[in-house]
A and B are shown apart, each in its own frame.
Chain A
Amino acid sequence: DQQVKQNSPSLSVQEGRISILNCDYTNSMFDYFLWYKKYPAEGPTFLISISSIKDKNEDGRFTVFLNKSAKHLSLHIVPSQPGDSAVYFCAAASGSARQLTFGSGTQLTVLP
């Protein structure tokens, strides 16, 4: 049973436009959410996070929104750039060791 779901395996966006990546979760014990970016043959790199007590966190071109009642979060990238093309993973933290549960990822392609 997938506790963190990314239902869109891929997304294509024109350069300069907004990219919106979505993530749903089922476990109410998750209290921290993170987005990671992954290029081929590299490890994931941290992008942005949000605590469950907030509904929005912004860092430059990246904004994460959290809707706790819907158990849904989204990552907005504005404006999108070709270098943003990568696989984006949503992850949720729980437990005393802050174990992460990952979604299956969304391949973002930003077209020039």
Chain B
Amino acid sequence: NAGVTQTPKFRILKIGQSMTLQCAQDMNHNYMYWYRQDPGMGLKLIYYSVGAGITDKGEVPNGYNVSRSTTEDFPLRLELAAPSQTSVYFCASSPGVEQFFGPGTRLTVL
């Protein structure tokens, strides 16, 4: 099993550009999550999903959108990138409580 995979690993965006961060899991988990981690801080929940077709906002959803059309994939969309979105983004999946994390995407908005 590959577990949770994320692409790309790194990306630099200009202000106002948009992009999609990809996340996939092969463990057939129903729950999936997107977090961001700023320097010296803990992870903050952006969006989560309890199954295909069902998503909900977390603590810091502004500026982001998600969709969940399959159990495996949970992409995160950034529209109109802003410098405040410079961060490391982690995707996670879970069968219940314990969450399994991907390696992260480091995003810089200039």
Contact = CB atoms under 8 A, between A and B. Distances in A.
B100 A46 contact: yes
A93 B97 contact: yes
B48 interface: yes
**Quick one: which of B56, B98, B102 has the most chain A CB within 10 A?**
B98
A44 B50 contact: no
B98 A34 contact: yes
Interface of A: 4, 6, 9, 32, 34, 36, 41-46, 49, 89, 91, 93, 96-105
Contact of A49 (B58, B98, B104): B98
B44 interface: yes
Contacts of A36: 101
Given A43-B4, A43-B103, A46-B100, A97 B50 contact: yes
B100 to A, nearest CB: 7
The 6 A-B pairs of least Cβ separation, nearest first, read: A43-B101, A102-B42, A102-B43, A104-B42, A98-B97, A44-B101
Given A43-B102, A44-B90, A99-B48, A89 B42 contact: yes
A12 B56 CA distance: 40
29 contacts: A6-B42, A9-B40, A32-B97, A34-B97, A36-B101, A41-B103, A43-B4, A43-B102, A43-B103, A45-B101, A46-B99, A49-B97, A89-B42, A89-B43, A97-B50, A97-B56, A98-B31, A98-B96, A98-B99, A100-B33, A100-B43, A101-B45, A102-B42, A102-B43, A103-B42, A104-B40, A104-B42, A105-B41, A105-B42
Contacts of A4: 42
Nearest to B31: A97
Interface string B42-82: 11110010100000101100000000000000000000000
